[in-house]
Amino acid sequence: MEKLLDHAERWSKEGWSTMWKTALVRLPRAVPMEALRLTSPQGPHPFKLEIPSREPRRNIPLYVFVPPVKFPDVDSGNIEPAPHTFPVVMDYHGGGFYLGSCLEQAPFCAKLCRELQTIVIGVDYRMAPIHKFPAAIEDSEDAALALLDPEYAGYSVLRAGIADFLRRKWFETLGTPDDRKKGKVPLPPVPQIHLDEARIAFSGASSGGNIALNMAISAPASLGMPAWPCVIPANYPHPIPLLLLYPSLDLRQLPDERLRRENMPALPEKKRLDIDNHLAATYVSREMSAHPRASPGLVDASVYLHKNAKILLILSGLDTLWEQSEIWVKKVEAEGRIDDMKVMRYEDRKHGWTTIPEIALSKEERKTRLEVLEECVRFTDVAWQGRDPVAVMNKEMGDNVKAQGNAELKHHEKEGLRFTESERKSFESDT
């Protein structure tokens, strides 16, 4: 990190340099696949698939979580696993558009996958400083088009990739490992699957929440860019759950310009804020930061938010993004869309606590982390039933939602968490 800070200081004096670009490219982009067994021991674990982007000769990596299925007898002639129809959640990781990995979201994605019997797709979108706005939005939109638009090149690639993954899983159930290794077991046919486009959802944490909201808005012509319609057709008739975890909604603010609440820890050292500001500015210029695709919290929700969007907004109190989210909530209310938003506030939780590994969290943090994931599951499930998830949550729970810390629920015990307090403290001291 010290070397990276030195690079940042030199960049601020010398401008963009090959040395600085090389240093950033070498930063790790993805969590090793082996680490998934630690972050999400219950699985399922994702497979990697690439779909074509709108740019020729370039692909977009996806991490695809597929729920367990039961395969038919290979001699029956039936090629439909059970289930063979899947809803889909598109997920976008955080990191300020310049750091992070979609595998950081593995526990979240795996839980949605298990409990909703849904396919979850983590989009490995392009990031700054190499790729500037709107590259991340374009990649994320291309992944959504691969789900929704039969005319898009990635549409068939996505379905074929998932079917091929299930074919390999089916093969693993046939014969013995030795027979399969020696070629004595033929490959089964390609399973027939269907992605249920009537049940889709978008989720994201931090900058990923910015992208998830982007998928459900249209952008008017602004700052020299033409009007940019929503990737979801205006006549799409089904509820669209948006799971926004402490999202960044207004990129006009650089990290050190955001309000720090009184209960937050002391400021980090100045060098860290300097590099955050530098990197944030490499994603979107100050002139373009007010564009509605860069700052989706600025759009008029009464006009540009999809009419069937249903928002679950999770806020962290120990977070410099709290203020802009609260401003957005008041704005959405003034624009007549507050009935489509459920806000859940966690005054004593830090930014990113739902993606931090369990071992690094306190018992109370682990408990509320799991409760948040459960509310995301429930919100999505209710929406996919064709009911209004905001109305249901408000009616059943009011403001006393269980995910805001009902100690008697003991979700951490229910889930059988593996880490003692002494183990957590030992981990923190090592890191």
More confident residue, 255 or 362: 362
Query: Higher model confidence: residue 39 or residue 245?
Result: 245
Band of pLDDT at residue 230, cut at 50, 70 and 90:
very high
pLDDT > 70 in the chain, percent: 79
Torsion of CA 295, 301, 303, 309, to 10 degrees: 110
Residue 412 or 133, more confident: 133
Mean pLDDT of 112-132: 97
For 7-46, the pLDDT digits (tens) are 333 333 333 333 233 333 323 344 444 444 444 567 899 9
- Residue 198 sits at φ, ψ, to 5 deg, of -85, -10
> The tokens of 224 are what?
């020299």
* Structure confidence at residue 5 (pLDDT): 36
Give the pLDDT of residue 276.
Answer: 79
pLDDT score of 250 more than 70: yes
pLDDT at 3: 44
> What was the pLDDT predicted at 401?
43
Cross-strand partners of 380: none
Q: What is the pLDDT of residues 153-201, one digit of tens each?
A: 999 999 999 999 999 999 999 999 999 999 999 999 999 999 999 999 9
Retrieve residue 89's tokens: 């959640």
Confidence of residue 260 (pLDDT cuts 50, 70, 90): confident
Cβ–Cβ contacts within 10 Å for residue 4, how many?
15
Question: Which is nearest to 108 in space by CA: 214, 48, 36?
Answer: 36
* Per-residue confidence (pLDDT) for residue 247, from 0 to 100: 97
| Interval 313-322 mean pLDDT | 89
Token pair listed for 181: 């290794």
Residue 375 has a pLDDT of: 93
Over the range 398-429, which residues count as b (16 or more CB within 10 Å of their CB) and which as e?
A: eeebbbbbeeeeebbeebebebeeeebeeeee
Q: Using a CB cutoff of 8 Å and minimum separation of 24, what contacts does 148-152 make? A: 148/197, 148/200, 148/231, 148/232, 148/233
Q: Is residue 352 pLDDT above 80, yes or no?
A: yes
Average the pLDDT over 390-417 and give the result. 53
Q: Read off the pLDDT band of 148 (50, 70, 90).
A: very high
Q: Is the pLDDT of residue 217 over 90?
A: yes
Q: Which residue has the tokens 């200081």?
A: 9
What single-letter amino acid sits at 60?
Answer: I
CA neighbours within 13 Å on the CB side: how many for 6? 5
The pLDDT value given to residue 405: 44
Average pLDDT over residues 319-335: 94
Residue 290 has pLDDT above 70, yes or no: yes
What pLDDT shows up at residue 424?
39
Q: What is the pLDDT of residue 270?
A: 55
pLDDT tier, 342 (very low <50, low <70, confident <90, very high otherwise):
very high
Contact 300, 231 (CB under 8 A): no
Mean pLDDT of the chain: 84
Q: How far apart are CA 50 and CA 61, in angstroms?
A: 4
Which one has a higher pLDDT value, 262 or 73? Answer: 73
Q: Is the pLDDT of residue 431 over 80?
A: no
Tokens of 260: 């720090």
Q: How far apart are CA 173 and CA 169, in angstroms?
A: 7
For the segment 139-145, the average pLDDT, to the nearest whole number, is: 98
For 268-287, how does the pLDDT look when each residue is reduced to its tens digit (9 = 90+)? Answer: 655 555 787 888 889 999 99
The strand pairing partners of 123, in sequence order, are 62
Range in 137-146, 270-279, 280-289, 364-373 the model is least confident about:
270-279
Structure tokens belonging to residue 179: 């027979």
